[in-house]
């Protein structure tokens, strides 16, 4: 995360006299700040307020009975809040587990599981810190072919 102090310094270096977020380009050691929402106040000093950003990643799984399905791994390293919403359209209870990875290759399942009844939705918040996260969705033998919708909601500030 880019600190407010560091952004203020970048603003001064980027052009002290130019106000407004439209005409300021910030490049830091951590990379470009193009994806940040900025509110800039100009007077004799430049004050930068980094506004929260919301991201959503939706994935639909085509589910078959007696199977485990994995969502794509997502880099959450710069996010402060992360949660998954899962909608079960299957005819049986599904089991959902978050998995964590340092490199998007080697994943470890979390201890926490949620069980989502047919026609219901569930919420899962990963409890372990990691760079990447994905979901493991298990469909029981008595389930049917169906669609499982997942939404990953993330907030950065």
The CATH code of the domain that includes 139 is 2.60.120.510
Range of the domain at 60: 54-156
Q: What's the confidence (pLDDT) of residue 7? A: 55
Q: Round to whole Å and give the CA distance between 117 and 138.
A: 12
Number of domains in the chain: 2
**Residue 142 main-chain phi, psi, to 5 deg:** -80, 0
**Residue 13 main-chain phi, psi, to 5 deg:** -70, -30
Smallest CA-to-CA distance from 6 within 34, 37, 25, 27 is with 27
77 and 10 in one domain? no
151 and 108 in one domain? yes
Q: What's the confidence (pLDDT) of residue 153? A: 97
Residues 6+ apart with CB under 8 A from 123: 83, 84, 85, 86, 114
What is residue 83's DSSP assignment? E
Q: Read off the pTM.
A: 0.69
Summarize pLDDT for 49-101 with one digit per residue, the tens: 677 889 999 999 988 888 899 999 999 999 999 999 999 998 889 999 999 99
Q: What's the confidence (pLDDT) of residue 86? A: 98
64 and 15 in one domain? no
38 and 27 in one domain? yes
27 and 82 in one domain? no
44 and 97 in one domain? no
Q: What's the confidence (pLDDT) of residue 64? A: 84
């Amino acid at each position: 995360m880019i600190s407010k102090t560091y952004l203020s310094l970048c603003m001064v270096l980027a052009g002290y006299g130019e106000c407004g977020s439209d005409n300021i380009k910030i490049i830091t050691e951590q990379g470009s700040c193009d994806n940040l929402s900025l509110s800039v106040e100009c007077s004799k000093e430049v004050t930068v307020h980094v506004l929260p950003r919301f991201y959503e990643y939706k994935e639909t799984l085509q589910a078959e009975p007696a199977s485990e399905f994995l969502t794509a791994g997502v880099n959450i390293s710069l996010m402060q809040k992360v949660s998954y919403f899962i909608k079960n359209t299957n005819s049986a209870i599904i089991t959902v587990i978050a998995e964590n990875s340092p490199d998007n290759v080697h994943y470890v399942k979390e201890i926490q599981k949620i069980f989502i009844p047919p026609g219901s939705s569930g919420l899962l918040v990963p409890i372990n810190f990691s760079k990447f996260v994905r979901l493991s969705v298990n469909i029981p033998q008595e389930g049917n072919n169906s669609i499982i919708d997942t939404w990953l909601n993330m907030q950065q500030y």
